């Protein structure tokens, strides 16, 4: 009986405890009203000794809440007496902090959490707190940062929040979308972006980024006196300089001889000097120059062959302006880079797996402090890489088995023709998901660093969202952007994008590469019939927004690639079908007035909207006009 009584008492206690937990759980799971009909008792609470980033986060929150509701919540330090209605920003001295696992949040992880009537906005010590505030504004309050100068802020008098327990950790530790407009400090914080070269407002962790052999052992200094430090092939050493492939200066003609012991000493000495000047930087690139002329001396070739995981004929690649190369040069390179990394255990030594060194080796692994920067420069862009470039995927999977310190350098535009239509929007998400699934921890998406270009605002926005969350609903995000950015002409923009992409199937057109020309697509998504349809769509779109100058200018910018394709195809065809020249009344060739009109419109709108270049490396819009006029004049002679 006594035993039963004790059990009963225990049961009662258990029951009471359960009830208490349940009530607490229900309380913390209650929806919360931050602002009601333009009034609020809430305070934004900051640590008494707040960090710069915590102060920034609190001020951003205060500002946006005001812009949404007209209510300015007071900022108070955490040494003030706690009240029930508080928004806790950062590491504030409140019991609710006990629920936050900062070890898990690391540098950039964020936490948004409601607890009773409190709202917790915090995160990792680097950027987590500011990411938490911007994510809260975006995900829960509907604010958007579409471009550096287009921020959407909904107006409402009441803010009621559901129960929230939202922790987000970065999928990639480094996230960069290399687009001209994204380096606005607020855009970068909003979308959680980095810049390897320190654009925006944050210091970069990268001391050296890429192609550093010539900086670490300069052909100008050693070329004449020590040719044996440089690549051997075609029966001799190559220690010279050639004019750079973008025409802007000189570049080394080859690489270093990585099995020469002096080369290791000189490279390490120069690297140490560079590190001493910038000791805070963590990543230091020791990587090949931008050419495929690696050393085939006896010793280097022996290492390449010793560590080759494939037969040479299985890994022959080719890309822009370079004849084919065998991608089995990593054996000598990784042996060398591992030795450098051993001397600098506190730094991460990054090296390229690019062109001739792209394929993962066997029998050797990168040291723990080696970063592999793997480049997909050869891939076609019509299809996701899992379909369009199986050889690259094989290399990536291989690298993923050797290391989890991989940065992928991927490409999302056409460098040679920045204003040509480049319908790759459907491959962005599958590619980023594939990289995430194969041990890639950092991602650099090389877009258009010039201002302007084919769908630059949309593409950079979508990539920014995908870099943080590769599983977003991409269609929803895309449509939302287009609705906001193009207003009444959104339906036409969507129709154009759909038609363009539907006709860009690898089976129908040629391989769409980052170095191609729109002329290659003149029978697929740039056919006569389709160009006509695109123009009719844009005519309709422009008409819809003709009295709305803000939208009108954006629709005209979206149309520029159609004009550019017409101009390039007309130039190639000369006087033929689709050509820029037609027969005049006297039978001689004259410029087609329609092409001339497109040319003037194209160039004027580029100038008006500050498009800087039509190619990554050269040709301003005015230079384009000059060249085109010269071509027309030549053709009519
Ligand atoms: Zn060599």
Between 145-149, 238-242, 504-508, 588-592, the lowest mean confidence (pLDDT) is in: 504-508
CA atoms within 13 A on the CB side of 323: 1
Gap from CA of 330 to ligand 1 centroid (Å): 13
CA distance 236 to 226: 13
Gap from CA of 346 to ligand 1 centroid (Å): 28
Q: What pLDDT is attached to residue 5?
A: 45
CB 423 within 8 A of CB 504: yes
* pLDDT tens readout for residues 472-510: 999 999 999 999 999 999 999 999 999 999 999 766 557
Superfamily of domain 32-169: Chitobiase/beta-hexosaminidase domain 2-like (3.30.379.10)
Gap from CA of 215 to ligand 1 centroid (Å): 18
CA distance 250 to 101: 52
Gap from CA of 296 to ligand 1 centroid (Å): 6
Burial of 406 (0-12, 13-18, 19+ CB in 10 A): buried
* DSSP-derived 3-state class of residue 230: strand
Gap from CA of 290 to ligand 1 centroid (Å): 17
Mean pLDDT, rounded, for 134-152: 98
DSSP 256: B
What does each C-alpha distance from 398 to 207, 328, 361, 381, 439 come to in angstroms? Answer: 28, 13, 8, 22, 10
Length of the chain: 637
CA distance 107 to 386: 32
Between 29-38, 83-92, 561-570, the lowest mean confidence (pLDDT) is in: 29-38
* pLDDT tens readout for residues 315-373: 888 876 566 889 999 999 999 999 999 999 999 999 999 999 999 999 999 999 999 99
Gap from CA of 216 to ligand 1 centroid (Å): 16
CA distance 505 to 502: 7
Gap from CA of 402 to ligand 1 centroid (Å): 25
Gap from CA of 332 to ligand 1 centroid (Å): 8
Gap from CA of 109 to ligand 1 centroid (Å): 45
Q: What pLDDT is attached to residue 6?
A: 47
* DSSP-derived 3-state class of residue 442: strand
* pLDDT tens readout for residues 161-183: 999 999 999 999 999 999 999 99
Gap from CA of 237 to ligand 1 centroid (Å): 9
Gap from CA of 94 to ligand 1 centroid (Å): 62
Gap from CA of 335 to ligand 1 centroid (Å): 12
Q: What is the pTM of this model?
A: 0.93
- Counting residues of the chain whose pLDDT is more than 90, the rounded percentage is 88
Residue 14 confidence (pLDDT) above 80? no
Between 98-102, 271-275, 317-321, 399-403, the lowest mean confidence (pLDDT) is in: 317-321
Confidence of residue 8 (pLDDT cuts 50, 70, 90): low
Domain regions of the chain by residue span: 1-26, 32-169, 213-420+437-452, 487-635
The overall average pLDDT reported for the chain is 94
Residue 21 confidence (pLDDT) above 60? no
Gap from CA of 304 to ligand 1 centroid (Å): 10
CB 178 within 8 A of CB 449: yes
Residue 277 confidence (pLDDT) above 50? yes
What does each C-alpha distance from 471 to 16, 169, 431, 466 come to in angstroms? Answer: 42, 14, 11, 7
Mean pLDDT, rounded, for 69-74: 98
Confidence of residue 191 (pLDDT cuts 50, 70, 90): very high
Between 55-64, 372-381, 404-413, 504-513, the lowest mean confidence (pLDDT) is in: 504-513
Between 35-39, 153-157, 174-178, 382-386, the lowest mean confidence (pLDDT) is in: 382-386
Gap from CA of 260 to ligand 1 centroid (Å): 7
CA distance 215 to 236: 22
Gap from CA of 301 to ligand 1 centroid (Å): 7
H helix or E strand, kind and range, residue 242:
strand 241-243
Listed in sequence order, the DSSP H helices in 438-516 are: 456-468, 474-486, 490-502
Gap from CA of 226 to ligand 1 centroid (Å): 13
Task: Quote the distance between the C-alpha of residue 296 and its chain's center.
Answer: 35
64 vs 6 pLDDT, higher one: 64
Gap from CA of 321 to ligand 1 centroid (Å): 24
Residue 637 confidence (pLDDT) above 50? yes
Mean pLDDT, rounded, for 401-405: 96
């Amino acid at each position: 009986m006594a035993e039963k009584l004790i059990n009963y008492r225990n049961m009662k206690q258990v029951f009471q405890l359960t009830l208490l937990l349940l009530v607490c759980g229900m309380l913390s799971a209650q929806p919360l009203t931050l602002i009601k009909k333009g009034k609020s008792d809430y305070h934004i609470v900051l640590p008494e000794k707040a960090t710069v980033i915590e102060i920034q986060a609190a001020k951003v929150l205060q500002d946006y809440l005001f812009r949404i509701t007209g209510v300015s919540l007071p900022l108070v330090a955490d040494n003030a007496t706690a009240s029930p209605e508080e928004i806790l920003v950062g590491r504030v001295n409140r019991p609710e902090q006990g629920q936050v696992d900062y070890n898990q949040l690391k540098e950039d992880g964020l936490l948004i959490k409601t607890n009773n009537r409190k709202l917790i906005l915090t995160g990792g010590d680097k950027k987590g707190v500011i990411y938490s505030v911007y994510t809260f504004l975006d995900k829960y309050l509907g604010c958007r940062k579409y471009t550096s100068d287009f921020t959407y802020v909904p107006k409402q008098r009441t803010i009621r929040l559901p129960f929230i327990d939202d922790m987000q950790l970065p999928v990639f530790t480094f996230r960069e979308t290399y687009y001209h407009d994204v380096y606005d400090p607020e855009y970068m914080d909003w979308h959680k972006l980095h810049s390897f070269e320190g654009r925006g407002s944050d210091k970069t962790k990268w001391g050296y980024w890429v192609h550093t052999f010539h900086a670490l052992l300069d052909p100008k200094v050693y070329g004449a006196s020590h040719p044996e430090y440089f690549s051997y092939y075609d029966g001799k050493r190559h220690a010279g300089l050639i004019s750079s492939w973008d025409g802007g200066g000189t570049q080394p003609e080859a690489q270093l001889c990585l099995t020469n012991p002096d080369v290791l000493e000189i490279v390490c000495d120069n690297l140490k000097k560079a590190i001493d000047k910038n000791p805070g930087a963590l990543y230091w690139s020791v990587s090949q120059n931008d050419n495929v002329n690696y050393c085939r001396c006896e010793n280097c070739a022996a290492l390449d062959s010793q560590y080759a995981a494939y037969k040479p004929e299985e890994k022959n690649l080719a890309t822009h302006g370079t004849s084919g190369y065998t991608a089995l040069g990593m054996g000598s390179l990784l042996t060398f880079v591992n030795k450098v990394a051993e001397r600098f255990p506190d730094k991460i030594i990054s090296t390229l797996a690019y062109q001739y060194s792209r394929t993962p080796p066997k029998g050797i692994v990168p040291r723990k402090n080696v970063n592999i920067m793997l480049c997909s420069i050869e891939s076609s862009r019509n299809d996701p890489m899992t379909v369009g470039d199986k050889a690259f995927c094989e290399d990536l999977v291989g690298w993923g088995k050797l290391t989890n310190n991989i940065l992928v350098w991927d490409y999302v535009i056409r460098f040679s023709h920045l204003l040509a239509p480049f319908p790759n929007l459907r491959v962005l998400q599958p590619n980023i998901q594939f990289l995430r699934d194969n041990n890639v921890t950092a991602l650099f998406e090389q877009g258009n660093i010039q201002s302007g270009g084919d769908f630059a605002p949309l593409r950079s926005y979508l990539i920014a969202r995908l870099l943080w969350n590769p599983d977003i609903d991409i269609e929803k995000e895309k449509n939302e952007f287009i609705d906001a950015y193009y207003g009444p002409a959104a339906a036409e923009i969507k129709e154009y994008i759909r038609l363009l992409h539907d006709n860009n199937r690898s089976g129908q057109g040629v391989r769409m590469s980052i170095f191609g020309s729109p002329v290659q697509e003149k029978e697929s998504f740039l056919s006569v019939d389709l160009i006509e349809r695109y123009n009719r769509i844009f005519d309709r779109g422009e008409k819809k927004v003709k009295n709305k100058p803000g939208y009108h200018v954006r629709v005209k910018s979206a149309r520029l690639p159609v004009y550019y394709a017409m101009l390039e195809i007309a130039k190639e065809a000369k006087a033929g079908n689709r050509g820029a020249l037609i027969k005049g009344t006297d039978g001689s060739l004259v410029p087609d007035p329609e092409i001339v009109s497109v040319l003037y419109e194209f160039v004027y709108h580029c100038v008006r909207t500050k498009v800087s270049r039509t190619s990554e490396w050269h040709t301003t819009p005015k230079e384009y006009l000059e060249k085109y006029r010269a071509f027309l004049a030549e053709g009519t002679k």
